[in-house]
Structure 1
Amino acid sequence: MIFRKALAADIKKIQIVRNAVTENTLSNPALVTDEDCLEFITKRGKGWVCEIDTKIVGFSIVDLQENNIWALFVHPSYDKQGIGKQLQKLMLDWYFKQTKMNVWLGTAPNTRAESFYRKTGWKEIGTHGKGEVKFEMTYENWK
């Protein structure tokens, strides 16, 4: 497994992972464009990927403008291998070096993602969007 910074050249493979997930699926995959991904990894924040045998199997993206986790996804064929946990660590370590502002995310209720965030120290602070659970991480809780 190789973890590294996401590059513009990775976007097509990132989209494959994003659209392969079975939870937190997009109602319309066209809602998240390649241009959106490029903006988030080059202008608004930063992204990371996990590669196995040159195949991108997971990615994470944090948005400094909105203090938001924009994405953290692992291809279903590669889950339960610690990939999500390592991507989260890279992302939050970097985020809290940039700012001490709280960071938030939303995820569908009653999913493995919701359980993952609870187990890794995120605190539920309400709801977001169309019934998503809204979580927050503070600098103090991350360190």
Structure 2
Amino acid sequence: MNIIIREAKPQDIPQIQIVRNSVKENQLSDPALVTDADCEEFLFVRGKGWVCEIDSEIRGFSIADLKENNIWALFVHPDFENLGIGRKLHDIMLDWYFEQTQQEVWLGTAPGTRAATFYRKSGWQENGTHGKEIRFEMTYAHWKNRKL
């Protein structure tokens, strides 16, 4: 299995949408809520994204938003979980984010999910809620110090 992590391109958006709508946790109540135009804006105007490609198919992606200092997305297709893809996408995204700014970054995820456990194990700190989700935060210092 040849796993490639690379920067997202505009032509990746249809496959990114397939992955986003395949997940079992943090599902969208209505897939139409996240449009291709939304993806394009977050990938190329507001921030940057990465994809994991296996055998020429996108199996995971991550997107950081510099405008709102937020992780907009980190998803792996359920058939490709537990291969370290989420970790690789997470780390490259946060390395890039903190090369752009030292502003802390936040994200929201549903309580009681594998994602919440992943973020805790990755050093994110819980700081209240964002709607019905747990709000997690990562500071520049915490990210840099954990990598020493």
| Distance in 1 separating the partners of 2:128 and 2:110 | 12
Q: Secondary structure at the match of 1:26?
A: coil
Match of 1:102 among 104, 107, 113: 104
1:136 alignment partner in structure 2: 137
Per the normalisation by structure 2, the TM-score is 0.95
Which consecutive unaligned segments of at least 5 residues does structure 2 have? Answer: none
1:18 alignment partner in structure 2: 20
1:114 alignment partner in structure 2: 116
Match of 1:42 among 35, 41, 44: 44
Which consecutive unaligned segments of at least 5 residues does structure 1 have? Answer: none
- Number of equivalent positions: 142
Query: Stretches of 4+ moved more than 4 A in 1?
Result: none
Deviation at 1:137, TM superposition (A): 0.3
| Distance in 1 separating the partners of 2:88 and 2:52 | 9
Deviation at 1:22, TM superposition (A): 0.4
Per the normalisation by structure 1, the TM-score is 0.99
1:84 alignment partner in structure 2: 86
| Distance in 2 separating the partners of 1:7 and 1:141 | 30
| Distance in 1 separating the partners of 2:6 and 2:85 | 12
Deviation at 1:116, TM superposition (A): 0.2
| Identical aligned residues as a percent | 67
Deviation at 1:113, TM superposition (A): 0.2
Deviation at 1:41, TM superposition (A): 0.6
| Distance in 1 separating the partners of 2:10 and 2:57 | 15
Q: CA RMSD in A?
A: 0.4
Cα deviation, 1:64-92, whole Å, max 9, x if unaligned, reads 00000000000000001100000001100
